[in-house]
Chains A and B, each alone.
Chain A
Amino acid sequence: MTISKEELRRASVDARLKLTVEEEERLLTDVNKIIQQAKSLINLDLQEVKPTFYGSEQKNFLREDIEGISLKNDEALANAPESDQFYFRVPKIVEE
């Protein structure tokens, strides 16, 4: 199993990130080394094993459905790079 540059580029698009040529090269080397090191793990037959996705075995629970104070408008917008009175402002969504 070898990862190609094209696969890395697609993954960069998924992560909404742009890598420089040097970073891409470096990542390609690192990723293929990881895959190489993990070969014995990847090739194990674990069909019968259930995955563990969570940190604890505690069952999820639901809180009571009681109304409470939520974020105020100005608090929600306090850290926004750009906002107007009620909204986050962003550039145009449609590409010209």
Chain B
Amino acid sequence: MAYEHLEELGKVVVERCRNIDKESGVFVSFDADLIAEDMKLFEEKLEQGEELPLAGLSFVLADNISTAGIRTTCGSKMLASYQPLFDAEAVSRLKDNGALLAGKTTVDEFGFGVSSVKSGAAKAVSAGAVNFALSVDTVGELRQAASIHGIAAIKPTYGRIPRKGVVGYAASLEVLGIMAKKVTELAVILKYIAGHLPADPTSLIGEVPDYPSLLEEGPAEFKIAVPADWSEARGIDEPTKKIFGTQLKLLDEYGFRIELVPFSYFYHSFLVAQFISAVEAFSDLANYDGVRFGYRDGAKHLQEMFINSRSKGMSNRLKRFLVFGALVSSKKYFNRCYLQAQKMRTLIKEELKTRLKKYDFIFTPTVPFTNAKTHDAYHDSLLNPASYYTAAANLAGLPALTIPIAHSEVHMPGLHFIGSDETGLLQAALRLEKEYL
């Protein structure tokens, strides 16, 4: 697109965003004037000869990703008026390359779990209001939201995209991920936001591959391991079994050599992630106490203020999760539950890595349900099996990707691949997208 059209494009983005917001309440922060200003700025930069490879692309951010001077509520009363002082690193990188931030979207409180209603980022992309979105994936929320709304998403390797500016709840599991309609868009955006940041010691050191230029490469055939007991997933419904069973047969025609392979530990992953994320959340969210930022409730003394502020600033659902985390990390249950879960994490990680030496990917449905309503019904419970297939990749720090099945009669959970690196995942997904979906 010629850059003199950027201002016009900004107006189109505004209109599309307003439409989807009216239809299903997507935005927490949206400022049409800011969009116009940013587009003008990009035009000026281009006129001065600056290179902005992402100019013309627009995106939204889940509201648990920091934006300087723009409210970052994390979907919580606790941070209803919180304004970060800096942009998340990934956001800076996108803006520096000319991508337009259209707004901040609804998110479940602190990104814990995903409901169809509050997955605003996925809704905005699915409706075509913007080209892509960034969201946080801790036990699979990003991939599940993409699956519910029929779009693609990549959860990169742990540390591939710097976490600076992510307001997370479980530091050892969470990564920033990308949602888009097309695999090529995932590859392009990943190229620009991946890469080490010295200020973030958990970000990976090393060269970032030029993902878009590698997309067409890859082996003629991919070897795929499907966990033999995939259909025994907790909460799995009949349509998922039927549709995924059919996909297994169809994929073979497109150069995906599928084998059912026994897994011993994979099936523990969603409970293991539940224990670990609860303990980390108990610790990571301890600083929301009404002292330095966020909601404060009245009290006679400091301890009472901590308790009142947290109890009134957080939802019942989150509170139950944090108390569960406190319980599991208490002396009596630390070894039996938390440490045991961390040991099982080792076994899950080793199992996945062993399988990925022999196979290119591990392939499952993204979620065990075909219906967004089932998702929402489980959402309020601590026993939510939505992350049955997704949590293992977070525990092992491995990259994973979901792509939707088109032309499906019912709302189909996406197809989910866990791999060794992003390049392979994107290559396989592109092949599926081109030849089959």
Contacts and interface: CB of A to CB of B under 8 A. Distances in A.
A85 interface: no
Given A80-B293, A81-B294, A92 B172 contact: no
A17 B345 CA distance: 29
B293 A54 contact: no
B323 A37 contact: no
B204 A56 contact: yes
B319 A23 contact: yes
Interface residues of B, number: 75
A18 B301 contact: no
B388 to A, nearest CB: 12
Contacts of B307: 16-18
Interface residues of A, number: 58
Given A1-B336, A79-B294, A93-B301, A16 B310 contact: yes
Given A80-B293, A88-B292, A30 B320 contact: yes
Contacts of A33: 383
A41 to B, nearest CB: 5
Contacts of A56: 157-159, 202, 204, 397
A73 interface: no
A50 B350 CA distance: 11
B300 A17 contact: no
Nearest to A62: B201
B390 to A, nearest CB: 15
Interface string A14-43: 111111100100110011011101101110
Contacts of A7: 327, 330, 332
Contact of A90 (B282, B294, B305): B305
Interface in B261-293: 268, 271-272, 274-275, 282, 286, 289-293
A15 B310 CA distance: 9
Nearest to B288: A16
B230 interface: no
A11 B397 CA distance: 29
25 contacts: A7-B327, A7-B330, A11-B330, A12-B323, A16-B303, A17-B322, A19-B311, A19-B320, A27-B324, A30-B383, A31-B327, A38-B271, A38-B337, A41-B344, A46-B344, A49-B344, A49-B347, A52-B346, A54-B172, A56-B157, A78-B83, A79-B294, A90-B291, A92-B300, A95-B300
Interface of B: 81-83, 85, 157-159, 171-173, 175, 198-199, 201-202, 204-205, 234, 268, 271-272, 274-275, 282, 286, 289-296, 299-308, 310-311, 314, 316, 319-320, 322-327, 330, 332, 336-337, 339-347, 349, 381-383, 394-395, 397
Given A3-B327, A80-B291, A91-B301, 4 more contacts: A14-B330, A17-B319, A51-B343, A52-B345
